[in-house]
Amino acid sequence: MSGVDEATKARAEWLRAELKRHNELYYQHESPEISDSEYDQLFRELRDLEFAHPELVVESSPTLNVGAAPSGRFEEARHAVPMLSLDNAFGHEELRAFDTRLRNLLGTEEPLEYQVELKYDGASLNLTYRDGKLIRATTRGDGTTGEVVTHNALEIQGIPIELKQNAAGEIEVRGEVVMLKSDFEAVNRARSEKGQQVFANPRNAASGGLRQLDSALTRERKLSFFAYGFGAGGDQFGDSQGDRFAWLQAAGFSLAEKPQVVRGIDAVIAVTEQILAARPGLNFGIDGCVIKVNSIAAQNELGNTSRGPRWAVAYKFPSEQAFTRLNEIKWQVGRTGVLTPVAELEPVSVGGVTVSRATLHNREEMTRKDVRIGDTVIVQRAGDVIPEVVGPVLEKRPSGAEVPLLPTHCPACETPLVQSEGFVALRCPNKRACPDQLASKLIHFVSRKAMDIVGLGEKQIVRFMELGWLSDPASILLLQEHKTQLLELEGMGESSVENLLKAIEASKTQPLDRVIYALGIPLVGERTAKDLAREFRTLEGVMTATAEQFDDVPDIGPRTAEEIAEWFHDPENMAMIARLKDAGIQPIEAAAPTSDLFAGQTFVFTGKLEQFTREDAEALVLKLGGKAAGSVSKNTSVVVAGPGAGSKLAKAESLGVRVMTEAEFLASVPEGSW
Ligand code: IVH
């Protein structure tokens, strides 16, 4: 092999062996050791090397093959049409390059029509139907031959045994088997309780669930199938990708979301951005979008390479997970004194952001996950939620990795910790003088969903506390008194001081629900704060209500009701509120109802609404004298259910609660009231 130096050759060989090993870990053992983006990086390096030095290419290279060979545990079957893979595109530039390449190949300057689909993050499955009846289900395997898992397919939701559309002869329907996020959490909890390795993500759980010898185990995983295309025989079902999807749906397959057909790459990019923003809210994992040329004629003209179709590309989103080393566990003292374990990590990039700390939620979770100092752990960050540790990678545990010790004293004020009866949490009882408790309280008070004081973050709060300016929430509203000193502080220019003081001033007239939330009453989150504001309308109203009155509010249970009443009985808390009032706080009171049309009735909205946001719909109910709740109980009067309604609708039906569509609800309110 002339022209290629030994080092390059060795690197290519190493990359091939590494990729093969990771393929097996991923496809056969469902327990990867590296994140998807690390895999993609290795893959690209090998592909680029082979592109620069074609003499390095060998037939068995992972760049030319898909997946991993079948494991030998199952009967095998050849796919009538190979199950190919997709090329990846990272970033808008690569998407544009894909579009330019296709238009060059097709010889057109006109914008192309594309269907933008979700790229489900699961395991692919090939379903063979003969004369409309399911005869075989096969995994992708190496792309040519897969493992026969028909017995398991019968346990997966969304796979019709018989098609609802005519389909003569043999056809292959392809799609992805996924586990819903909600089911995934339960599966992992059970696994870690049994001391088993947790699944890094729903995909691994789905892939493992699909390849069980005992189909009862597949059923337990509650998997779902989403169809995305055809193998053999698909040509008869429409001239466009969109038409084929419509056929699949009519035949009885579920499509998670309606895919969008758009013209031109700019529109494609806009749709991918929408999907990226919606990702954290979906109940199943996606790792990107698949962009497909909509016209089947154009697809056929473009054809395939040995790896995948030329007419489609996977636009990959940044991975929401990464693997890194856990260096230490620190305990953070929250606003109610409860200690939270926080993992200090070797910094790692997750979803485009460097993460060096991640929450372990609470002591129970930490013990359940059995993370040890020095472990390689899976870290996850979805949307703007706080990064969390999913669990350790047991295969990579170094010998002597230490079980973290539980603290006995508060890390901030050294007070011996207590454990309240019936609770597992460790708490610092030093309510008055623990500096970390106060800092957490103040950080919560100014946060975006509370008083929303922009320009006052954790760093400034700690600094101002050290300077002795902050002793309680009211002292934040009085920072104006330290204006001269503020202006002298390093890093605080005149305009930032002005802006900060303006933001503080503006926060004095926040809506009542924000103020209630900002108070930091245990168990009172945003939703409960809203319920309290709507129900009692003024701060005085809330302060003087009894536990029974709190309990009467829909969605507030007896325990929370007790906790709220107790909080408002504590003279220290009342004094704190009095100081806030002295400092000028004047919450905007919630509006009184304008009618008693819905008096005595409680509404729950679920599923997708077309005309309103859920918040607006709930506000309308309140305006008309009714109540709105988030969960269905025997006290619910009406459930308004839109498309996609799930467990709440089912519960309403089982309790015999009246169910309405959005249109019926609208018809029941007076014209002009919304
Ligand atoms: S089309 C011939 N559409 O992604 C091309 N694949 O990286 C077949 N996947 O093996 C793929 N969602 O398992 C297609 N909407 C979607 C998909 C999708 C997920 C998976 C599929 C495929 C892999 C390719």
- For residue 181, the domain's CATH number is 3.30.470.30
Residue 83 sits in the same domain as residue 227: yes
Residue 587 forms part of a structural domain: no
Tokens at residue 330, please?
A: 């620190």
**Residues 356, 344: Cα–Cα separation, whole Å:** 6
Per annotation, catalytic residue among 9, 119, 483, 648: 119
Residue 83 sits in the same domain as residue 180: yes
For atom 22 of ligand 1, the residue with the nearest CA is 85
3-state secondary structure of 76: strand
Residue 336 sits in the same domain as residue 291: no
Residue 639, amino acid: V
Atom of ligand 1 nearest to the CA of 84: 2
The owner of tokens 């185990």 is: 217
Domain count, the chain: 5
Contact 455, 496 (CB under 8 A): yes
Residue 565 forms part of a structural domain: yes
Residue 70 forms part of a structural domain: no
Contact 521, 564 (CB under 8 A): yes
For atom 9 of ligand 1, the residue with the nearest CA is 119
Assign residue 617 the CATH number of its domain: 3.40.50.10190
User: pLDDT of 599-650, one tens digit each?
Assistant: 989 999 998 888 888 888 988 998 899 988 888 988 899 999 988 787 888 8
Cα(214) to centroid of ligand 1, in Å? Answer: 27
Largest distance between two CA atoms of the chain: 88
The answer to whether the pTM exceeds 0.85 is no
3-state secondary structure of 33: coil
Q: What pLDDT, on the 0 to 100 scale, is given for residue 158?
A: 93
Q: What pLDDT, on the 0 to 100 scale, is given for residue 436?
A: 96
Q: What pLDDT, on the 0 to 100 scale, is given for residue 69?
A: 64
Low-confidence ranges of the chain (pLDDT < 50): 1
Cα(308) to centroid of ligand 1, in Å? Answer: 10
Atom of ligand 1 nearest to the CA of 85: 24
According to DSSP H, which parts of 53-137 are helical?
91-106
Chain centroid offset of residue 1 CA:
49
Cα(119) to centroid of ligand 1, in Å? Answer: 6
Within 6 Å (CB) of ligand 1, which residues are found?
84-86, 117, 119-120, 124, 176, 228-229, 290, 308-309, 312, 314
Which of 377, 401, 428 delimits the end of a domain? 428
**Residues 21, 42: Cα–Cα separation, whole Å:** 12
Q: What pLDDT, on the 0 to 100 scale, is given for residue 70?
A: 63
Q: Which of 27, 63, 120, 177 to mutate to test the pocket of ligand 1 (most atoms within 8 A of CB)?
A: 120
Count CB atoms within 10 A of the CB of residue 540. 11
Domain that holds residue 51: 6-65
Q: Which of 39, 124, 300 to mutate to test the pocket of ligand 1 (most atoms within 8 A of CB)?
A: 124
Residue 308 sits in the same domain as residue 159: yes
Q: What pLDDT, on the 0 to 100 scale, is given for residue 39?
A: 84
Residue 515, amino acid: V
For the question of residue 119 being annotated catalytic, the response is: yes
Query: What is the arrangement of strands in the sheet containing 113-120, beginning at the earlier edge strand?
Result: 87-89, 312-316, 286-293, 113-120, 260-263
Which of 428, 450, 467 delimits the end of a domain? 428
Residue 192 sits in the same domain as residue 135: yes
DSSP run (H or E) holding 399: none
Chain centroid offset of residue 478 CA:
39
User: pLDDT of 287-328, one tens digit each?
Assistant: 999 999 999 999 999 999 888 999 999 999 988 899 999 999
Atom of ligand 1 nearest to the CA of 66: 10
Residue 498 sits in the same domain as residue 644: no
For atom 23 of ligand 1, the residue with the nearest CA is 85
Look at residues 410, 472, 402 and name the one whose alpha carbon lies nearest to residue 439: 472
Assign residue 496 the CATH number of its domain: 1.10.150.20
**Residues 390, 405: Cα–Cα separation, whole Å:** 19
Residue 60 sits in the same domain as residue 111: no
Chain centroid offset of residue 526 CA:
19
**Alpha carbon separation from 670 to 34, 159, 598, 623 (Å, rounded):** 58, 44, 11, 12
Cα(292) to centroid of ligand 1, in Å? Answer: 10
**Alpha carbon separation from 631 to 298, 560, 564 (Å, rounded):** 49, 15, 20
Cα(655) to centroid of ligand 1, in Å? Answer: 41
Which of 552, 582, 612 delimits the end of a domain? 582
Residue 593 forms part of a structural domain: no
Residue 415 sits in the same domain as residue 454: no
Q: Which of 83, 84, 115, 119 to mutate to test the pocket of ligand 1 (most atoms within 8 A of CB)?
A: 119
**Alpha carbon separation from 90 to 105, 272, 319, 458, 511 (Å, rounded):** 21, 12, 11, 35, 43
Cα(223) to centroid of ligand 1, in Å? Answer: 17
Look at residues 290, 294, 280, 256 and name the one whose alpha carbon lies nearest to residue 177: 256
Residue 358 sits in the same domain as residue 451: no
Count CB atoms within 10 A of the CB of residue 225. 24
